[in-house]
A and B are shown apart, each in its own frame.
Chain A
Amino acid sequence: MERPLTKHIHPDREPLSLQEYERVGGYQAVRKALLELTPEAVVTLVKDSNLRGRGGAGFNTGLKWSFVPMGPDVPRPKYLVANADEMEPGTFKDRMLLEGNPHQLIEGMILASYAIGADISYVFLRWAYKKAAHGIIKAIQEAYAAGYLGQNILGTEFSLEMHLHTGVGRYMCGEETALLNALEGKRAMPRAKPPFPQVSGLYGKPTIVNNVETLCCLPHIVNHGAEWFKGLSRTQDAGTKIYGVSGKVKRPGAWELPMGVTIRELVEEYAGGMLDGYKFKGALPGGASTDFLVEQHLDTPMDYTSIAAAGSRMGTGTMIILDDQTCPVGFVHNLQHFFAQESCGFCTPCREGLPWVEKVLLSIDRGEGRPEDMNILDFHTKYLGPGNTFCALAPGAMEPLQSALKYFREDFERHIHDHQCPWK
């Protein structure tokens, strides 16, 4: 089984230095792209590889790039931002790539910058990733010293600056337009779209924001081609994927696997099955803002298309397990507490609705719920759903709630009927 992204990651040792990374083929893709391929050819290659954004939205990366204005008369500087603000609860996949092999990310960022003609690039890293910050600072310095960053890279016309920006908290920073506001030193509130960042992003200039895992795929696609990348997958969505499992399983962790392994394989094989005495009840397949899937979905392939067909989202691909001895109402209350707290407060439905949902869930969990509370929860899943709020935060928050109300409705009703939590 090929594991291109994690092949050179060894958690028990320091990440590869620039020389070590070069020795295993590192920066060959930058040489190939800058010396042999036009930016247009790189965009086409990545579009053809069917690489889909690994941050959760799953949009075709090459297609996203193709909206950036190209040519001599476009606004400059253009920007490329690596979204390393991993803050989706239950998600710990980018940490592995950032801590494990920062040169791979830098190489991917150089390739993306070349493809879109970016002049300046940023790594937007969340504050908590101290070890990653240390490694990235060192790797950027090494890349400058070796001439992979700076003026006239490899003697070509292409120049690129790279900086590390460390955030100061807030989930909203993961949303790409809010991230750009944070980079500009503003409150991390989302911007109206259009204009899209590809046209008017950081400081009003054309900007691409790509997830860390997405960028880390690029050197391998340039080296080995679109068909090879598609061949890594078991299904129609190309490549490998960093999957993760957390919760009451024997071996929680993250693994790079072919796109499209099933939920069952992840839980039973890679995570070693449930801890003794615990049963699988459900899972959020890709972080806190994805719909629950349950036992009937265990054989669903973990790819964007199949998980969507099963009624959820692949999201970040890092799964949180709900076991039979954990209260689903308490579980969902914890999630809604998070979303209510992290709402930026800009739009009314999100600012007012999420705390209401949180309070209702808390009273149900405490055995103080009323029968009409079910109705209140139901209508919030509609009024806070897609199209009613300024950004995707509240609709994302409603995904685990609406699916919990569907699959675990009896558990909610039992709390209300018995005036107590059956799990306490």
Chain B
Amino acid sequence: MLTTEEIAQIEHEISLVPQKKAACIEALKVVQQHRGWVSDEDLKDTASMLGMSPEELDSVATFYNLIFRQPVGRHVILLCDSISCWVMGYEQIRDHLMQKLQIKYGETTPDGRFTLLPNVCLGTCDRAPALMIDDHLYENVTIEELDGILHHHR
């Protein structure tokens, strides 16, 4: 069940667009903001508010990288794997993260703290390698700094 707050926020998004369906990405963002991810049940409830079938909404939800249809950890690490970060050695950062957290791409640490995902170019190629954790951007990342960076996100 969507909460009263979620319903109010989705209705607000619907009021801003000429067709209900056009608010669907914003609606998914609302749900994800509150719950961290979008479950099948949340998807159905959201679809009915938008006058869409769950399948139609899921076709949108699964198209975009940053709508999560599986549970994620409290913090999501998005590691840039595009060309400038590749040239500057992001693979070492990746290997170190995987070893330290004992997870692969797409997995979450057993304590539910971190999920690790590869991500396309973060648009900060002059300060490669780069990664984001939640809303925080880290640039010119070195292996030595990684522990300190992770420490900020409990």
Contact = CB atoms under 8 A, between A and B. Distances in A.
Contacts of A335: 83
Given A169-B66, A326-B87, A338-B120, A92 B19 contact: no
Given A90-B82, A320-B83, A331-B86, A187 B125 contact: no
15 contacts: A86-B123, A87-B123, A89-B82, A89-B83, A89-B120, A90-B82, A163-B16, A169-B120, A184-B21, A185-B25, A186-B60, A187-B59, A246-B128, A320-B84, A335-B83
B46 to A, nearest CB: 12
B94 interface: no
Given A87-B120, A246-B125, 18 more contacts: A91-B123, A92-B125, A95-B124, A128-B122, A128-B123, A130-B135, A184-B19, A184-B21, A185-B19, A185-B23, A185-B26, A185-B60, A187-B59, A245-B126, A246-B128, A323-B87, A331-B83, A338-B83
A91 B125 contact: yes
B34 to A, nearest CB: 16
Given A89-B83, A128-B132, A168-B67, A185 B24 contact: yes
A188 B63 contact: yes
Interface string A171-199: 10000000000111111100000000000
A203 B19 contact: yes
By size class, the interface of chain B is: 35 or more
A89 B19 contact: no
A331 B126 CA distance: 17
A343 B28 CA distance: 22
Contacts of A413: none
A18 interface: no
Nearest to A334: B86
B68 to A, nearest CB: 10
B65 A89 contact: no
Contacts of B29: 168
Residue picked from B59, B125, B135, most chain A C-beta under 10 Å? B125
A288 interface: yes
Interface of B: 16-19, 21-26, 28-29, 59-60, 63-67, 81-84, 86-88, 120-128, 132, 135, 137
Interface in A250-280: 252-254
B84 A247 contact: yes
Contacts of A323: 87
A61 interface: no
A170 interface: yes
B64 A90 contact: no
Contacts of A330: 86
B63 A170 contact: yes
Contact of A168 (B59, B66, B83): B66
A284 B66 CA distance: 28
Nearest to A126: B123
Interface string A104-138: 00000000000000000000001111100000000
Contacts of B83: 89-90, 284, 288, 320, 331, 334-335, 338
A411 interface: no
B64 A169 contact: yes
B62 to A, nearest CB: 9
B84 A246 contact: yes
Contact of A170 (B18, B64, B86, B124): B64
B120 A252 contact: no
Given A246-B128, A331-B83, A168 B121 contact: no
Contacts of B59: 187
B126 to A, nearest CB: 4
B152 to A, nearest CB: 16
A247 B87 contact: yes
A400 B82 CA distance: 14
Interface in A326-352: 326, 330-331, 334-335, 337-338, 341-342, 344
Nearest to A182: B25
A87 B122 CA distance: 7
B87 A88 contact: no
Contacts of B23: 185
A238 to B, nearest CB: 26
A201 interface: no
A129 to B, nearest CB: 7
Interface string A27-48: 0000000000000000000000
A248 interface: yes
